[in-house]
Amino acid sequence: MPSVLVTGCAGFIGSHLCERLLADGYQVVGLDNFDPFYARSLKQDNMGGFLQHPSFRFLELDLRAGSEALTQALGATPIGLVVHLAAKAGVGPSVREPAAYLDNNVLGTTHLLEWMRQQGIGKLFFASSSSVYGNSPQRPFREDQSLLQACISPYAASKLAGEQLTYTYHHLYGLSVLNARFFTVFGPRQRPDLAIHKFVRLLQAGEPIPVFGDGTTARDYTYVGDTVEGIARGVAYLLSQPPGFETINLGNSHPVALLELIHAVGEAVGIAPQLVFQPMQAGDVDVTYADSSKAQALLGYAPQTSLAEGLRQFVSWQQNTNGSPLQA
C-alpha cells in the first residue's frame, strides 16, 4: 500500500479517517497544527487510538509555513496521495475573522499544492464544503451547477477558492484531483462549537437551546462513518484511475429542519428541549441538500447511518468522555 498524507489528522474527520486508512493497510503520515480554535487536548485525545500505530507517523506543522517547511519535515518520505482536510473551520467565526480564514485555507492550500508539484506527488483528495452552494434555489445541489456569486461567508469563499486552486494545478501540472463537498458531518469527536454538540451540552445542563431563525432552516446531516467511507473509496479511486479531475457531493440527501433536529437530539439525550428563538446568524444558509448520485456512480457511495442512530452514537461517546469543553 502507498503512503497517504492526511492533513488535519487530529481533527474530527481526520482522526476517524486515519483509523480507517490504517485498518485498510495504508502507511499514514498525519499532519496537524493544533489550531487553537478548540482545545489541543481534545485533538490529542482524537489521536489516542492510532498515534502509536506502527504504520502511522505524526508531524506537527502549519501549512502556512510554506512548501520548504513541508519538504524539511517530510524529507524523503514517499507519499503516493494526499488527503487535504486541514482548514480553519466554521461559518460564523469566518464572518468575524475573514482574513484568518483566507490565510489558513487559501494560502495553506497553495503551499501544499506547490509542495506536491515540487515533489512530483500527483494525487489529491480535497475536502470542500456544502457551504460553497450558498442559498442556491436549485435543490438538491448538483456538482455541475454554477457557483458564481453563491458564497455568502468567508469560509465558503475560502473552500471554493481551494477548489479553483486544485483545478489550476490539475490543468497546469497534471495533478489528479477529487474534490469532495462535505455536508454537515456529525458523530463522535465532533467539534465542540457545532450545533449537535452544543445542543447536547445545553440539554444536560438544563439550559434552553437557541433557535436561530424560525426553525425551518435545514441541513443534510451526514454521519462521520459514512463520510469517511466516501473518503476511503475516493482514495482507492484516485490510486486506481488515470489522472483526472472530479468534484462530488458527500451528503445524506435528506435535509433535516432545525426544529426536527433539536427534538431528535432531545430524544437521544432523554430530555425535552426548551427553545429560545433568536435572529438568523450572518453567513448561515437556509438549506443544504446533496444530490449524491455522482458519488454513488463513481465510488459506490451510499450512506448507511440514520440521524437517530448517529445521534445515539454521538451521545454515547459524549457521555463516556464527560463532554468536551470549548477551552483547554
C-alpha distances in Å from residue 286, one per residue of 283, 289, 327: 10, 10, 29
Residue 155 annotated among the catalytic residues of the structure: yes
If you count them, how many residues does the chain have?
328
**H/E run at residue 129:** strand 123-129
125, amino acid identity: F
Radius of gyration of the chain (CA): 19
Q: How far apart are CA 262 and CA 274, in angstroms?
A: 10
Closest to 175 (Cα-Cα) out of 249, 108, 118? 118
- Confirm if 276 and 211 have CB atoms less than 8 A apart: yes
Decide: helix, strand or coil at residue 133. helix
Helix H segments across the chain? 12-23, 40-46, 67-74, 91-96, 98-102, 108-119, 154-173, 195-204, 224-240, 258-269, 293-299, 307-320
Backbone angles phi, psi at 212, to 5 degrees: -85, 120
Exposed e or buried b per residue across 69-86, where buried means at least 16 C-beta atoms within 10 angstroms of its C-beta: ebeeebeeeebbbbbbbb
Name the catalytic one among 26, 38, 101, 155. 155
Q: How far apart are CA 26 and CA 78, in angstroms?
A: 12
Which residues are known catalytic residues? 155
